[in-house]
């Protein structure tokens, strides 16, 4: 059965073919909601979020070490505070790269400090 649209005079109107809409998010891939939340506060698009998901996860891990209670709202606040503390990146560098580098170095520093302290019995 085919449904046709007619005008006031009873003449069949031309209709455009149905076009399938491409989805923004790949629903087959597992989605980490924490990464999406942090990507939103960093104003990252979908492609940037996928590209920088490892950096965002490092930022989340760093933020968990900075807060008393690791809720998502506290994590977002810690990342926002880091952004203001570190400042704007130089021309041509992405903001997420700059704050990721700081967070990564601080996590490494904490790891090395713990390892060094474990050597003192």
Cβ-Cβ contacts under 8 Å for 111 (sequence gap 6 or more):
none
Q: Can you give the pLDDT at residue 18?
A: 61
The residues, any chain, with a CB within 8 Å of residue 13's CB and separated by 6 or more, are: 4, 5, 6, 7
Q: What does the pLDDT look like over 15-46, one tens digit per residue?
A: 666 666 555 555 555 557 888 999 999 989 88
Dihedral sign for Cα atoms in the order 59, 65, 67, 69: positive
**In this structure, are residues 107 and 61 in contact, taking their beta carbons and an 8 Å threshold?**
yes
**DSSP 8-state secondary structure symbol assigned to residue 94:** -
Question: Which tens digits make up the pLDDT trace of 52-105?
Answer: 999 999 999 999 999 999 899 999 999 999 999 998 888 888 999 999 999 999
Query: If you average pLDDT over residues 97-117, what whole number do you get?
Result: 94
């Amino acid at each position: 059965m085919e449904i046709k649209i007619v005008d006031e005079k009873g003449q069949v109107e031309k209709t455009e073919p149905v076009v399938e809409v491409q989805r923004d998010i790949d629903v087959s891939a597992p989605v980490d909601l924490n990464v999406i939340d942090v990507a939103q506060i960093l104003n990252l698009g979908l492609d940037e979020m996928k590209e920088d998901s490892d950096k965002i996860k490092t930022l989340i891990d760093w933020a968990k070490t900075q807060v008393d209670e690791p809720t998502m709202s506290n994590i977002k606040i810690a990342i926002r505070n880091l952004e203001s503390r570190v400042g704007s990146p130089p021309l041509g560098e992405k903001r997420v790269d700059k704050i990721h580098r700081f967070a990564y170095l601080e996590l490494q520093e904490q790891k090395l400090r713990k390892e060094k302290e474990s050597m003192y019995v």
